[in-house]
Amino acid sequence: MFAAYAARINRDQPLDGLELGQRPEPEAPPGWTVVHVKAASLNHHDLWSLRGVGLGEEALPMILGCDAAGVDEYGNDVVVHSVIGQTGHGVGPREPRSILTERYQGTFAERVAVPAWNVLPKPAELSYEEAACMPTAWLTAYRMLFTNADVRPGQSVLVQGAGGGVATAAIALGAAAGLRVYATSRDAAKRERAVELGAEEAFEPGARLPHRVDAVIETVGAATWSHSVKSLRPGGTLVISGATSGPNPPAAELNRIFFLELKVVGSTMGSKEELADLLSFCAARGVRPVIDSVLPLDRAREGFEKMAGGDLFGKVVLTV
């Protein structure tokens, strides 16, 4: 079957390790099933895999891709939950949690094998392309907002770095849930798009907000960390799920964090139950993921280049 896969690890030039071509058909051990992929979306996790983060040389070649929507062996439209392990469903009960492509072949292929427990019904209201955006970026944003930040309608949230998959999801979900959403971006066009998506206002990075917020959704890291901490009200919550600009901010702002009793919460992916709730919420409220571009699988390299360059707003989706 045709697939996009990591053939080599290159920390400096990750796309040098990306190959497109034929790979063996997936095998489904007991408790697993094979999903015929219709659409799969790109995540920064795929770029990090090509750099060797979470993926060792011994696991190569590895088909990339965490997210997928498609058709199961019984003809049902489904969405794949990409977190494997720590459930006992289809894996050993003590297997540590991993994401597809860290231990198991991914979704940038015609077919993918996953534990049957990891397959959820796709709402009819969502297209394959829309549903394929949900399991990583949108699930991450959902958990950041409603589980780890624990914000309620009427409260305020700052989303750093409008344009990325998690950030655009947080803006759309927050606005649909009745939050007052503010966003930042270096790009004027992306700030405008953020407002169209539901943000109350969008600012340049580091700008003073109209008031301090209840929570900050942080995926940028070092470049925005100080601004994130300074934007919180006393007792507010900073939820971080990524650090695309680097993991080591020049100032940790520890004095401000302890004096104002701020909470800093790490967040990674989400549960199968949260994914089911997210899919139901989007179907019921008419919320749809922002899709930057849709490309056939054989043009996957274009999608990777677009994501690596940061020249996108929303998700890049590959169709099979």
Question: What is the domain-level CATH number for residue 308?
Answer: 3.90.180.10
Q: How far apart are the first and last CA of the chain?
A: 11
CA distance 52 to 211: 41
Has residue 177 got a pLDDT over 80?
yes
Mean pLDDT on 154-182: 95
- Number of domain units in the chain: 2
Q: Residues 215-229: pLDDT tens digits?
A: 999 998 888 899 999
| Global pTM value | 0.93
Calculate what percentage of the chain has a pLDDT beyond 90. Answer: 86
Q: Is residue 274 part of a domain?
A: no
| 96 lies in the same domain as 147 | no
Q: Is residue 315 part of a domain?
A: yes
The per-residue pLDDT for 124 is: 97
**Confidence band, pLDDT 50/70/90 cuts, at residue 285:** very high
Mean pLDDT across the chain: 94
Q: Is residue 272 part of a domain?
A: no
242-132-127-144 Cα dihedral, nearest 10 degrees: -30
Q: Which residues pair with 240 in a beta bridge?
A: 218, 266
| 159 lies in the same domain as 220 | yes
Has residue 86 got a pLDDT over 80?
no
Q: Is residue 275 part of a domain?
A: no
**Confidence band, pLDDT 50/70/90 cuts, at residue 89:** confident
Host domain of residue 65: 2-133+289-319
Has residue 276 got a pLDDT over 80?
yes
Q: Is residue 39 part of a domain?
A: yes
The per-residue pLDDT for 223 is: 86
Q: Residues, the chain, total?
A: 320
Q: Is residue 23 part of a domain?
A: yes
- Which among 25, 123, 54, 117 is positioned nearest to 80, based on CA atoms? 117
**Confidence band, pLDDT 50/70/90 cuts, at residue 20:** very high
Q: Is residue 25 part of a domain?
A: yes
